[in-house]
Amino acid sequence: MPFHGTKPEAQTDGPLFLQNGKSPSRVCHNQSTSIERRFVNVNPVSAKDAMARMALPLGQAEGYSAIIDARSEDEFALDHLPGAINWPSLNNEQRIEIGTLYKQVGSFEAKKKGAGLVAANIAKHIEKHVIDLPKDWQPLVYCWRGGKRSGSLALVLGQIGFKVAIIEGGYKSFRSELVTAIPPLAESIQWRVICGPTGSGKTRLLYCLQAQGAQVLDLEGLANHRSSVLGFIPGEPQPSQKNFDTLIWDALRKMDPSKPVYVESESRKVGNLAVPESLIVAVRSGQCYQLELSDDERVQLLLEDYEFFVKDPTLFATRLDALVTIRGKQQIEIWQSHIAQGQIDIVVRELLTMHYDPTYFASMKRNFSHIENAQTLKAHSRSMDGLTAIAKELVLS
């Protein structure tokens, strides 16, 4: 019973039971709502929805202002979303440190240490990249699985007042969706396949077609390789397989399916990288064009395009060792002797007639269903002017 002349104790302890006359349930609800408001600017999105919105250029209305990868530098280098920038929540060394602490000591200690590092790194990103950004800046953020690293960054950006999208499942989910997306994209395209033996100018013709406004898929360019045992490019390492797949998806999604896309007659592998099987199947069912160039012009074209071998004969001779199992040690030694004597043009010509051409023609008959009906494109020289003339005819046809 309350004392006379006073309110019951339950009514005087406002903060505990009543607050400004509101019921306990109302107080709890308001506190919960207040907490939820801290996350109101962070919007989880599926990888599929994020990829659909990525069709809009960065910075364009309704598109993302930026794509931020919160993983470490090495993870980013292995592969990342097209157009992404790297704001590591934990850098390479810190990620190793926290992982080791997690295994050797425990998750609680690792999380404490990691939280301090993540907070410090996010503060640096804010100071370096965010201070001058407008309030309508809307980034897409992700990490490996959409967990703590991207979540921590998204939380801080959201609390500032930016509207932040975060990929549910992170890069792992994006990768899965990408693998699923490539086959229907490849099948929707009208493929025009530029065929021709090594040195006939297929890649140059692709450049000319692109210059004339045609759609082109340059797999060798994406792979940093010229698609033969001698096709590596010094100083230009190939991307990872995952990054190669991402580059292909990025190129395919930008194609207009109502217009043809020109591509070279590639094998299943470009250097060490595998072309997606669905893309290989779709391309090999496309309309073929057979590019022809004289042997003399082919030799000169290869001497120009593989100038690094001309300038470094020792490198060229060493690379020929890769053909020993196919051509035999004696033949390779003969070619290496020619190289030592400065007769590189002889080696190039014999590589064409003895190695590349027989392999090429057998492969084309085996793999390209429309090669027998291919339209012949006769190039009178290896010059860009001559190939541009062919490209113009193709674009107008």
The CA distances from residue 152 to 64, 110, 147, 148, 161, in Å, are 19, 16, 8, 6, 15
- DSSP secondary structure code for residue 322 in this structure: G
What DSSP character marks residue 41? T
Q: φ, ψ for residue 20 (rounded to 5)?
A: 55, 35
Pair of tokens at residue 340:
């030592």
Q: Are 137 and 162 in contact (CB under 8 A)?
A: yes
From the centroid of its chain, how far is CA 159? 31
Query: SS3 for 12?
Result: helix
Per DSSP, the three-state class of 27 is helix
The neighbouring-strand residues paired with 287 are 192
Structural Rg of the chain based on CA atoms: 30
The arrangement of strands across the sheet holding 85-86 comes to 42-45, 164-167, 139-142, 66-69, 85-86
CB atoms within 10 A of CB 279: 25
Give the SS3 label for residue 193. Answer: strand
Task: Judge contact between 47 and 169, C-beta under 8 A.
Answer: yes
241-253 vs 170-187: helix axis angle to the nearest 10?
50
- Torsion angles phi and psi, residue 208, rounded to 5: -65, -40
- Pick from 189, 188, 195, 184: nearest CA to 368: 195
Confirm whether 143 is a catalytic residue.
yes
Number of helices and strands in the chain (H, E) = 20, 12
Out of 28, 143, 195, 208, the active site residue is: 143
- Residues annotated catalytic, as ranges: 143
